[in-house]
Chains A and B, each alone.
Chain A
């Protein structure tokens, strides 16, 4: 079996890696000026948000193993990309996540218990808080990218100061919709941010087999839009890049394609076994030791005296409690009523659905009597 031999990002580019924007090194050193744009409180928010998500993600995998949620898509390793990008948005911005971006959705305002509901296969798991524009996770690859062009286009036409961000993976860049979205966004200069988390793999297929392009960000040139390649495990770099993209978009300068280089430590989903397609131990260890987004920010914060062990223990404890409370709320959520399947197919129920609903209702009632 053919596995990725060289763990140092062969999967991303097939060779030496083209430059990417980086602010915070894995050793926790700042190598670019951040001009006071990221203050201490934002740094702590970034750090704590990443910790929260990692706690949530690990918990979710355990819950899946216990049969308390269904198949789950983990994102551990990608926290800087998800948190950094989401924190750069405003509350009214449109977010189009995929099945792996519930981290970003949570940071943008999706409630944790709803995310649990989603993975527990409740209809109600796709609903976002009133007034928010967090769309349900996109399951078909790349399709949400064109929607983000449309909502952004409408924002522009209506003169609203909002951007739309679409999340997607490296595999998505092979789909037609990736190209159609970038092309439309370029033509209409829509305030859209295309945020690719290049985690090296589309399920099992490494990027070198996905595409002959050296990078994903270079594709921006083909559509004459702004393209940036960024260290996706460096939350400062991600935040600054997305912030800049938002500013450009709101100034009418159009869309940005961002390629964030990152890695998922775990499986594609809880139903997948990554050992089949990559040297799981070697490559994950490499990333954990050399590039982990949480470790590197902790190193920096520790050095600056902004963070210590006690704080870490305390917030992790608080996060565990918070997550448990949301889990309880989700587990206490009323079971889906089978008749719910007939709701919201249309704004107004038509005769055939009304009757089929009645039919199921009768079956259910008979079943109850048995």
Chain B
């Protein structure tokens, strides 16, 4: 009924099942065919489905995303893999000006059901521009949906939902978690709704909001704090970054009265600011302390020799919890 899979394996399984399930599904990207992707997330699919379904494209992000838009307009269901998030920039315009706007521009006449998958985030000892976390660019774009799973189970269920979504979805895969741990993943094609956050751990003293790779730092910090001080943190995995699940955010604040946001993206105009605004609008009177953010710094992600100092650490998160609770 299920298997223990890494996030990568769960993603491969989802892709495999979707290709098998619907002839219109195609995967496009650089090195995803014969090579099975630089992280091997499409391993075996080229052999199984052939060169027209699992397509090794030219090295051109605008061409890939732009032609995938055309494929989607004309009835296919393309899944694009961008090799690393920061390499999406040559295709950024296709994504924000066209994929995201086609439905709007044509008043619903033509939609672009397209999924863009890409590894993102630091902690993999990558070269320059392999570790960025710029989800805000996409969460600022009406017409796009932004999804970021934090575990194998969610990754499969969210990816299947993303493909079935009539609108373009950018699917951010935390590179650091690709092979970090295994988890039981059901065999069948199950779905996790886009737009719903998940309370991963219940608590009453403070809520930590996180997503992607930072979820593990949040959970670890919460565990340590509980052991050290007896404080119970609620941990919420946002899973969908745009549109956000406001209800879950607000409910949790009503319960705990304190919030800490942990993200590895740069602080300024990071998604944390948006979450604070939502709480401000909807739950200000429940707050017992100012909301804190523990984030990446407002600098380009530094070389890997010092990237650990850029990333929020369990200690920084713990410090944030202490400052918020003892405010």
Given that A177-B62, A180-B60, A183-B58 are contacting pairs, would A153 and B70 also be in contact in the complex, using a CB cutoff of 8 Å? yes
Give chain A residues whose Cβ lies under 8 Å from the Cβ of B142. 345
Q: How far is the CA of A158 from the CA of B145 in the complex (A)?
A: 28
With an 8 A cutoff between CB atoms, is B105 at the interface? yes
B326 at the interface (CB under 8 A from A): no
Q: Is the CB of B103 within 8 A of A184?
A: no
Q: Assess whether B305 is interfacial by the CB under 8 Å rule.
A: no
Whether B67 and A150, one on each chain, are in contact in the complex, defined by CB atoms closer than 8 angstroms, is yes
Near A by CB (< 8 A), chain B positions 96-112 give: 97-98, 103-111
B contact residues around A198 at 8 Å (CB): none
Contact with A along B60-89 (1 / 0, CB 8 A): 101101111111111110000000000000
Interface size on A, residues (CB 8 A): 40
A150 B195 Cβ-Cβ under 8 A: no
Q: Does A43 contact B (CB under 8 A)?
A: no
What class of interface size applies to chain B in its complex with A?
35 or more
B69 to A, closest residue via Cβ: A147
Interface residue B44 (Cβ < 8 Å from any Cβ of A): no
Give the contacting residue for A184; candidates B63, B75, B76, B98; CB below 8 A: B63
The answer to the question of A350 belonging to the interface, with a C-beta cut-off of 8 Å to chain B, is yes
> Which B residues touch A153, using CB under 8 A?
67, 70-71
> In the complex the two chains form, is A146's CB within 8 Å of B143's CB?
no
Distance in angstroms from A220 CB to nearest chain B CB is 17
- Say yes or no: is B90 at the interface (Cβ < 8 Å to chain A): yes
| Known contacts A127-B107, A346-B103, A151 near B93 by CB under 8 Å | no
A123-161 vs B, Cβ < 8 Å mask (1 yes, 0 no) = 110111000000110001001011111111111011000
Given contacts A176-B90, A350-B195, contact A154 B70 (CB under 8 A): yes
| A347–B70 CB distance below 8 A | no
Say yes or no for B31: interface residue by CB 8 A criterion.
no
Q: How far is the CB of A165 from chain B (nearest CB, A)?
A: 12
Q: Residues of B with Cβ closer than 8 Å to A? A: 26, 52, 57-58, 60, 62-63, 65-76, 90, 93-94, 97-98, 103-111, 142-143, 145, 165-167, 195, 243-244, 246
Q: List 5 A-B contacts (CB under 8 A).
A: A143-B97, A180-B60, A181-B63, A343-B108, A344-B103
Contact residues of A with B, CB < 8 Å? 94, 123-124, 126-128, 135-136, 140, 143, 145-155, 157-158, 164, 176-177, 180-181, 183-184, 187, 343-348, 350-352
